[in-house]
A and B are shown apart, each in its own frame.
Chain A
Amino acid sequence: MNEKYLTIALGKGRLAKSTMELFEKIGITCTEMQDKKTRKLIFVNEEYKLRFFLAKGPDVPTYVEYGAADIGVVGRDTILEENRNILEVLDLGFGKCKMCICGPKEAKELLKHQELIRVATKYPRIAKDYFYNKKYQTVEIIKLNGSIELAPIVELSDVICDIVETGSTLRENGLSVLEEVCDLSARVVVNQVSMRMENERITRLIYELKQALQE
């Protein structure tokens, strides 16, 4: 059974770095990955029969859903937005932030009534779910790909739905958090078949990660 590799997909960037640090804590290292000049796409740890690869955040749930990766590490925002059929087994606790509805202070009034407003966001599914299913407010969603804060300033939208970490970008642009949608942080996700076929190995790995988090 043990000759099979477990494949782990990591969301590129800070998340991958923090995750690898956590893996190092439980004795799993991947020296190949630390070489900044490498053009390799997949990194192998022969000792534990693990393979790692880096992918763009929103692609991680896709790899895991199809079983191309057994395990993935990705932000909860991506998991909610992608809405894939995967198991979200562990909250890693890092990369903590919140999904919020933000806008100029005057816009707070718009959220109290059920009138049609415009919401700019990078996360249309999360925004839609929040307004339709939690607030029962009909909204027009405008999908943007970055600098979401700009939208209310140039009057493209009334409010925005975006990730807030420190809130400094918001403040500098005269915006504030109007409502909180949900808490976000990095999560470990697992393919549903891998969870059954490799239950022992994956459960042990997750347990060890959890132990390392508590130290």
Chain B
Amino acid sequence: MKKTILHTPEGVRDIYNEEIEKREVIIKQLKDLIKTYGYDNIETPTFEYMSVYYKDITLRKSKDLYKFFDKDGNTLVLRPDFTPSIARAVSKYFTDDKVIRLFYVGNVFANNRRYQGRLKESCQFGGELIGEESIDSDAEIISIIVNALKSCKLDDFQISVGHADIFKGLIDIGKFDEDDTETIREYMLNRNVFGLEEFLESNNTSKDLIDMFLSICKMYTPGSDDWNRLLDKANQYKILSKSLNYLNDLYEVLRKYGVEKYISFETGSLSEYDYYTGITFAGYTYKSGEPIVTGGRYDNLLSNFGNKRPAIGFGIFVDQLQLALDRQNILYIEKSNKIIICYKSCDRKKAINEAIKLRKQSNIVELILLKDDFDKAKALYEDENVTVMEIK
């Protein structure tokens, strides 16, 4: 046999045995949980027209997409993300004024060269709440995330919440031009507060505003003295103060959900994409070098499909979550017991009848047609969860 045909391409892989069992458990927990909030399942195609993902929607670089052509010459793309597909589907099928709650699970594809040694096909689970622009819907999404992660027995995690208008507010105060905004953005994305401070000083920014920038770049425990001081300081700036107070109000709603202990504010957070219009968030835990969940409010996305409706959504990176659960030794799958019935072809009828009987009693039964003697088969298959028996 040619050995080369045994390989899978870089970035994709087989998932089997215990790993797939664990994944199924995780996905079941997530599904069961989100269903209790009234979310319905949706499945969208694995590939779609490129314009769904790429027309000013995500600014995702075109080279990161897996592209191919159909027979008419249209460019098709393997989905890099579910949200635009769902926005398209909703604009097409859900045209009345009802609030829409949907969840999805499936694989997404990233043709990203930088991801060396990293998955190009990965599993995502997410939810979208469409048609409501309120603090209540923001809180609902965050509480779903917290409870979904908890349903997987994860406890040591943190959801950092920010707001897209905070950065806009800061830029608005300083009246920075495009180039300076880009530099500031770069420093803030890198959490390089000292670099930011030097840049602002060299740019003759007022001491007050520099101080504001530096305070924004910290992380906050909601309700703490530090946080309240920040609210006071921001009071003089309209947009900034509005978005910070929004976070504060959001926290109050989250307390009603009882999920506040997992929340921190990351006021200086920025998304790589201009996609979000309101709150943004990301979830982190130990032993996974990347976020396990991200999301936010995207009130303008649906208008790209001619259906202007507010929306908020999240996506859990199932592979990252599973990795973290594994490394934190949380996920434990109890192996189910199995009965193996060995038989020779002359005893076929007896063996099948026995299997039917045992399966009716909810046993897992595997039939093995004996090629040689029973003892060999017993030695091959038997372990602590497997009972091997012979029908004669």
Which residue numbers of A lie inside 8 Å of B, CB to CB?
4, 65-68, 83-85, 87-91, 190-193, 195-197, 199, 203, 210
Q: Of A68, A83, A197, which one neighbours B286 at CB under 8 angstroms?
A: A197
Other A-B pairs, 12, CB within 8 Å; known A4-B286, A84-B114, A90-B194 = A65-B289, A66-B289, A85-B114, A87-B191, A89-B191, A91-B192, A191-B289, A193-B290, A196-B158, A197-B158, A199-B219, A203-B219
Measured CB to CB, the nearest residue on chain A to B220 is A199
Closest 5 CB pairs of A and B: A67-B289, A88-B190, A196-B284, A66-B289, A87-B191
Q: Which of B34-66 contact A (CB under 8 A)?
A: none
**12 sampled A-B residue pairs with Cβ under 8 A:** A65-B289, A66-B289, A68-B289, A84-B114, A87-B192, A89-B193, A89-B194, A90-B194, A90-B195, A193-B286, A193-B288, A193-B290
Measured CB to CB, the nearest residue on chain B to A66 is B289
- B83 within 8 A of partner (CB): no
A197 to B288: give the CA distance in the assembly, Å. 11
A88 to B160: give the CA distance in the assembly, Å. 19
- B85 within 8 A of partner (CB): no
A192 to B190: give the CA distance in the assembly, Å. 9
Given A65-B289, A89-B190, decide whether A196 and B266 contact each other with a Cβ distance below 8 A.
yes
- B124 within 8 A of partner (CB): no
The answer to whether B192 touches A89, judged by C-beta atoms less than 8 angstroms apart, is yes
Q: Of A4, A84, A210, which one neighbours B194 at CB under 8 angstroms?
A: A210
Q: In the complex, what's the smallest C-beta–C-beta distance from A156 to chain B, in angstroms?
A: 26
- Enumerate chain B residues within 8 angstroms of A65, measured Cβ to Cβ: 289
Q: In the complex, what's the smallest C-beta–C-beta distance from B71 to chain A, in angstroms?
A: 34
Measured CB to CB, the nearest residue on chain A to B115 is A85
- Enumerate chain A residues within 8 angstroms of B193, measured Cβ to Cβ: 89
A90 to B284: give the CA distance in the assembly, Å. 22
- Enumerate chain A residues within 8 angstroms of B264, measured Cβ to Cβ: 196
- B310 within 8 A of partner (CB): no
- Enumerate chain B residues within 8 angstroms of A85, measured Cβ to Cβ: 114, 290
- B322 within 8 A of partner (CB): no
A197 to B264: give the CA distance in the assembly, Å. 10
Q: In the complex, what's the smallest C-beta–C-beta distance from A198 to chain B, in angstroms?
A: 9
- Enumerate chain B residues within 8 angstroms of A84, measured Cβ to Cβ: 114
A67 to B118: give the CA distance in the assembly, Å. 13
Q: How many residues of B contact A (CB 8 A)?
A: 23
Q: In the complex, what's the smallest C-beta–C-beta distance from A151 to chain B, in angstroms?
A: 26
- Residue in A65, A84, A88, A193 with the greatest tally of chain B CB atoms within 10 Å: A193
A196 to B265: give the CA distance in the assembly, Å. 10
The answer to whether A192 touches B291, judged by C-beta atoms less than 8 angstroms apart, is yes
Q: In the complex, what's the smallest C-beta–C-beta distance from B12 to chain A, in angstroms?
A: 19
- B143 within 8 A of partner (CB): no
**Per-position 1/0 for B263-298, Cβ under 8 A of A:** 010100000000000000010111111110000000
A196 to B158: give the CA distance in the assembly, Å. 8
- Enumerate chain B residues within 8 angstroms of A89, measured Cβ to Cβ: 190-194
Q: Of B114, B191, B286, B287, which one neighbours A195 at CB under 8 angstroms?
A: B191
The answer to whether B288 touches A91, judged by C-beta atoms less than 8 angstroms apart, is no
The answer to whether A193 touches B194, judged by C-beta atoms less than 8 angstroms apart, is no
**Per-position 1/0 for B169-200, Cβ under 8 A of A:** 00000000000000000000111111100000
A199 to B195: give the CA distance in the assembly, Å. 18
Given A83-B114, A196-B284, A197-B284, decide whether A90 and B289 contact each other with a Cβ distance below 8 A.
no
Measured CB to CB, the nearest residue on chain B to A197 is B284
Q: In the complex, what's the smallest C-beta–C-beta distance from B179 to chain A, in angstroms?
A: 13
- Enumerate chain A residues within 8 angstroms of B190, measured Cβ to Cβ: 87-89
The answer to whether A193 touches B114, judged by C-beta atoms less than 8 angstroms apart, is no
The answer to whether A196 touches B160, judged by C-beta atoms less than 8 angstroms apart, is yes
Measured CB to CB, the nearest residue on chain B to A69 is B289
A85 to B64: give the CA distance in the assembly, Å. 15
Q: Which of B106-138 contact A (CB under 8 A)?
A: 114
Given A88-B192, A90-B194, A210-B194, decide whether A193 and B219 contact each other with a Cβ distance below 8 A.
no
The answer to whether B285 touches A197, judged by C-beta atoms less than 8 angstroms apart, is yes
- Enumerate chain B residues within 8 angstroms of A87, measured Cβ to Cβ: 189-192
Q: Of A83, A91, A193, which one neighbours B284 at CB under 8 angstroms?
A: A193
Q: Of A67, A88, A199, which one neighbours B288 at CB under 8 angstroms?
A: A67
A191 to B191: give the CA distance in the assembly, Å. 11
- Enumerate chain A residues within 8 angstroms of B160, measured Cβ to Cβ: 196
Q: In the complex, what's the smallest C-beta–C-beta distance from B37 to chain A, in angstroms?
A: 26
A68 to B290: give the CA distance in the assembly, Å. 11
- Enumerate chain B residues within 8 angstroms of A190, measured Cβ to Cβ: 191
Q: In the complex, what's the smallest C-beta–C-beta distance from A208 to chain B, in angstroms?
A: 12
Measured CB to CB, the nearest residue on chain A to B186 is A88
The answer to whether B219 touches A196, judged by C-beta atoms less than 8 angstroms apart, is yes
Q: In the complex, what's the smallest C-beta–C-beta distance from A28 to chain B, in angstroms?
A: 19
Measured CB to CB, the nearest residue on chain A to B190 is A88
A89 to B195: give the CA distance in the assembly, Å. 8
- Enumerate chain B residues within 8 angstroms of A193, measured Cβ to Cβ: 284-286, 288-291
- Enumerate chain A residues within 8 angstroms of B191, measured Cβ to Cβ: 87, 89, 190, 195
A124 to B326: give the CA distance in the assembly, Å. 38
A87 to B195: give the CA distance in the assembly, Å. 12
